A = this chain, B = another copy of it.
Amino acid sequence: MNIKGFTFSAVEAAIKKPGRTDLALIVSDVPAVAAAVFTTSSVKAAPVLLSAERITAGTAQALLVNSGNANACTGDNGMTAARETSRLVAEGLGINDDLLQVSSTGVIGVQMPLDRFTAAIPALIAGRSSGTFDDVARAIMTTDTFPKMESRCCQAGGVSYTVAGIAKGAGMIMPNMATMLSFIITDAAVDPAFLRQTFRDAVNSSFNAITVDGDMSTNDTCLIMANGMADNPVIAAGTDEARVFQTALAEVLLSLAKQIVKDGEGATKFVEIRVSGATDDADAKKAALAIANSSLVKTAFFGQDANWGRIFAAVGYSGAAVDQALLSLYFDDVCMANQGVFAGGDAEARGSEVLKQKEFRVNVNLGLGNGSATVYTSDLSHEYVSINADYRT
């Protein structure tokens, strides 16, 4: 993978448990066109507040990210820490503070160990000569069991460019944006307005369509930087080149989003929930999310129990317009229920076979209109409880 004009670094700053990198840096050789989407929670971490303020200019050149401490619910001290760490890095890079995005993930409510940042930052900056994007993907992991990466190579005006992304997140995953961080970089030259719009669209159909446990976090951030160093003709809205870029970006984000669900805390299943026949798309998403977030549905998935009634129950309280006599439900291609009632025959046995797979699809048709939505989720297992009962110990 060759993304022109980006360098990377990751070090161990002793913020997380020993033996794991926890502080990372992505730097573009030149200021990049940038856009970001942040958590919609009213309780926002200091780095989110700071980065949101800075990104309004539409430009960024570097990202400093740490794992092990979320710098959330840390008040004025937290904001001071975010500013101070960013100042140190910007100074080391010789760029303006305002071009530095900052991001944190980890435990909420613990003050940042500023001295450890100060001690580690020189090595972090020096490490850019040998670091990789993969190193950064590893450094941002918390309960993640594998690093999450995706990339696409494309052309614009005969010039090759790359869109690549990394992500972290395994629990507290819920639209919008969940406890997840994702950083996308591209060496393509992209029109700023088009980048913002296409990025927002791609986030909506990827990171805003996944849920592990229904919890939204204080730190969710998805950032894109396009530094233009591929030297392609600038990609602008409405062109063929725009459609190519859009597809590549959407694929990278959807792949990362799916990786997050597959790595959902304690997940043993990856489930695609498709709701169609809703009055409108918004209703379809309500119904899909209600199914995906139902603890009873998720434990049934874990138990490989074709308990389709729980899915109809979730649809019933979702808030979507529903006529129970029109509901139908499929597990993959097996019809479990039709016109609101059990399909009969060997549906139960065949449905259970579907649920024994590691990945399957749930299709619900509300029978009312043309609204549809797809959401990705995992099951709820013993392991989820174990991970989250003991997260800090």
Could you tell me which A residues sit within 8 Å of B by CB distance? 39-44, 70, 72-75, 77-78, 107-111, 171-172, 174, 213-218, 293-296, 299-300, 302-303, 305, 307-310, 312-317, 320-325, 327, 337, 339-342, 380-382, 384-393
Chain B residues within 8 Å of A294, by CB: 214-215
Q: Identify A72's interface contact among B110, B217, B313, B314, CB under 8 A.
A: B313
Chain B residues within 8 Å of A387, by CB: 299
Q: Identify A295's interface contact among B108, B295, B390, CB under 8 A.
A: B295
Beta-carbon contact of B74 and A302 below 8 Å: no
Chain B residues within 8 Å of A317, by CB: 39-43, 174, 215-216
Beta-carbon contact of A43 and B312 below 8 Å: yes
Chain B residues within 8 Å of A40, by CB: 317
Beta-carbon contact of A305 and B385 below 8 Å: no
Chain B residues within 8 Å of A386, by CB: 382
Chain B residues within 8 Å of A42, by CB: 315-317, 320-324
Of all chain B residues, the one with the shortest Cβ separation from A40 is B317
Which residue, A70, A77, A111, A309, has most C-beta atoms of chain B within 10 A? Answer: A309
Q: Identify A385's interface contact among B78, B107, B302, B307, CB under 8 A.
A: B302
- Cα distance, A327 to B108, chains bound together (Å): 14
Q: For the complex of A and B, list the 6 residue pairs with the smallest distance between their C-beta atoms, beginning with the closest.
A: A108-B309, A43-B316, A303-B389, A299-B388, A109-B309, A41-B316
Nearest-Cβ distance from residue A202 to partner chain B, whole angstroms: 22
Beta-carbon contact of A341 and B309 below 8 Å: no
Contact A340 B310, CB 8 Å, known A294-B214, A305-B393: no
Chain B residues within 8 Å of A316, by CB: 39, 41-44, 216, 218
Chain B residues within 8 Å of A78, by CB: 341
Contact A41 B313, CB 8 Å, known A303-B388, A305-B392: yes
- Cα distance, A300 to B392, chains bound together (Å): 9
Beta-carbon contact of B295 and A77 below 8 Å: no
Beta-carbon contact of B43 and A315 below 8 Å: yes
Chain B residues within 8 Å of A44, by CB: 316, 324
Of all chain B residues, the one with the shortest Cβ separation from A212 is B295
Q: Identify A299's interface contact among B323, B324, B342, B385, CB under 8 A.
A: B385
Beta-carbon contact of B73 and A340 below 8 Å: yes
Contact A300 B389, CB 8 Å, known A309-B107, A324-B73, A341-B77: yes
Which residue, A107, A293, A294, A324, has most C-beta atoms of chain B within 10 A? Answer: A324
Contact A215 B314, CB 8 Å, known A107-B309, A322-B43: yes
Chain B residues within 8 Å of A72, by CB: 309, 312-313
Chain B residues within 8 Å of A393, by CB: 303, 305
- Cα distance, A390 to B352, chains bound together (Å): 13
- Cα distance, A308 to B380, chains bound together (Å): 23
- Cα distance, A214 to B215, chains bound together (Å): 13
Beta-carbon contact of B73 and A299 below 8 Å: no
Beta-carbon contact of B385 and A313 below 8 Å: no
Contact A73 B312, CB 8 Å, known A171-B296, A337-B109, A342-B110: yes
